[in-house]
A and B are shown apart, each in its own frame.
Chain A
């Protein structure tokens, strides 16, 4: 008898009935409410902020409002005090709903890649406001982000003062960089992963940085962060390679990085034009990325000039 029941439950007609019943109830089931906003308007209560993103923590410190922070994520490495002082939310893409609630924040401020979305939905149901900031990896985008964070926490005039006193001049300096006839061919690599370089293609923060310094990204044809083969590294002939310190140190410093088989054959390695910089400073797109871009621009000029003197 048991077997007949099973057979019935699996006969084609009954499967069809199950599917029809299933599809019929689908729209009746509850769906998730959109909990995340993306506006720069002041929120009701920004007294206790959980910051999910290095640039956001940096901006809150810039505004001198760090007393409002209750927790920061693992990309909040600047200023160094932030990580020591506040509990860690973990990685910005992998937040924990209940862990966040335990910090009783009134506002969760996150970068565009904050997630997972399901966790933000859960938080929305608990009445915690989350605001996701739009990502625009450019100098103007950084200033806009400062304005937006300040607007959300009700400090717009202070932000304007900071921008007028300091940031605007850096933006002007970056805008004033000449666009060379033949821009430097630059590859921005995160480091060597599994034996092959991981390069910044279009749409990445790395590509944004290279645009800021008027360099030509040799990997602009690929989109996203992509592993590139040794041969295409050599074929692209980058004059200069920019790499975060961490990526270079993993290969034993700049010399070790330059000697890696995938890097060795490039003009950049052969002429000693590998520039290692603080990764979060150049790719975090907080206020200090403006300084980092100016520094990078100078170092690119320096490297090219030094090399042409030597030629």
Chain B
């Protein structure tokens, strides 16, 4: 989207006016437009103006505030979290393939959340705490997986692309094993919940479940977004970054914990939504710029826009049923990514 506007402009205008900052603003505009469209479109017709001038029925009003708004919000923050975590982890590991899904972070979150689905009912939690249990369990799982990666990378000094992918394969395999064991232990009803949860959906957003995850995500996203300069310096190499005054150990743990939190809190509510974390930072680097001060906010915005868009498709194509949103993100993300690789020289 940003590229087509950019391409249409003459090179001179492009250099002076279509600056990276303006491109980021363009992304804001696109995100708001997509969010507005997602709020306006759905199985039940709700004209947005009718909500403002008060002509909407009570049903339309409640449907908007209790179902559509939390759903779009969850899609937005979960997508933003995946995009931001993808960008931060790619920067941290200095590795373009560090996607939360590929390297096992989402898998770790899934293990945590599934453990809570299967064993949570055995541990009698007070009702007001039950909404926190899933995000906390998922964040713990994601943190363990990311922490393991970090410790592993310390042992090896620096990760090559291949090593990271192989460790990711191993971590994902481990997650699959644990999930498989949980599936074996779970009863019929839990099993069916698990299966659909694994496919990903933003349809389960309710305000009480959304608040705790939202708080966790906003807090960690705020920390991650402040790490752009440190991540830029880290690209020079670890000893160079240290020489320039970056406490690399602290930086690594902060990024790992915060990335795990934004991914985990999202995964706890939406299940696994593939491809956002990998594709989004690359698109931002291609069309906006490679500085982390651009990549981090850009990936946050674009991740949110992509997830909202995918959810819009998922819930409107087979009304009154809906598609798993992970199916849609992969269907949009994978071919688009291939097209980009074929068309644009990587920056």
Contacts and interface: CB of A to CB of B under 8 A. Distances in A.
Among B184, B196, B206, the one with the most A-chain Cβ atoms within 10 Å of its Cβ is B206
Interface string B173-209: 0000000000010111101110010000101111111
Interface stretch (A116-124, A177-185, A247-255): A116-124
Contacts of B206: 32, 118, 121-122
Given A6-B223, A31-B128, A88 B63 contact: no
Contact of A26 (B63, B132, B205, B320): B132
Interface string B312-331: 00010011111000000000
A101 B44 contact: yes
B42 interface: yes
A89 B209 CA distance: 24
Contacts of B129: 26
Given A9-B223, A126-B62, A98 B321 contact: no
A157 interface: no
Given A32-B206, A103-B320, A126-B67, A93 B196 contact: yes
Contacts of A103: 320
Contact of A223 (B187, B196, B212): B187
Interface string A215-253: 000000001111100000000000000000000000000
Given A89-B320, A98-B68, A224 B187 contact: yes
Interface in B136-194: 184, 186-189, 191-193
A203 B187 contact: yes
B28 interface: no
Nearest to A29: B211
B287 interface: no
A6 B203 contact: no
A93 B203 CA distance: 13
Residue of A96, A204, A227 with most chain B CB atoms under a 10 A cut-off: A96
A121 B204 CA distance: 9
A29 B66 contact: no
A98 B128 contact: no
Nearest to A32: B208
A94 B327 CA distance: 15
B22 interface: no
B321 A125 contact: no
Contact of A116 (B43, B187, B204, B211): B204
B189 A31 contact: no
A96 B320 contact: yes
B337 interface: no
A224 B67 CA distance: 33
B133 to A, nearest CB: 11
A203 B205 CA distance: 31
A102 interface: yes
A88 B321 contact: yes
A80 B215 CA distance: 48
Contacts of B196: 91, 93-94, 116
Contacts of A22: 215
Contacts of A47: none
Given A90-B322, A126-B66, A27 B128 contact: yes
B127 A2 contact: no
13 contacts: A22-B215, A29-B212, A32-B206, A90-B322, A96-B320, A98-B44, A98-B67, A99-B315, A101-B44, A102-B42, A102-B319, A224-B188, A224-B191
Interface of A: 2-3, 5-7, 9-10, 18, 22, 26-27, 29-32, 71, 74, 87-91, 93-103, 112-113, 115-116, 118-119, 121-122, 125-127, 203-204, 223-227
Interface of B: 42-44, 59, 62-63, 66-68, 71, 127-129, 131-132, 184, 186-189, 191-193, 196, 201, 203-209, 211-212, 215, 219, 223, 226, 247, 250, 254, 315, 318-322
Given A103-B320, A118-B209, 18 more contacts: A6-B223, A29-B212, A30-B208, A31-B128, A32-B209, A71-B320, A74-B321, A89-B320, A90-B320, A91-B196, A93-B192, A96-B43, A96-B319, A98-B71, A101-B67, A118-B205, A119-B204, A126-B67
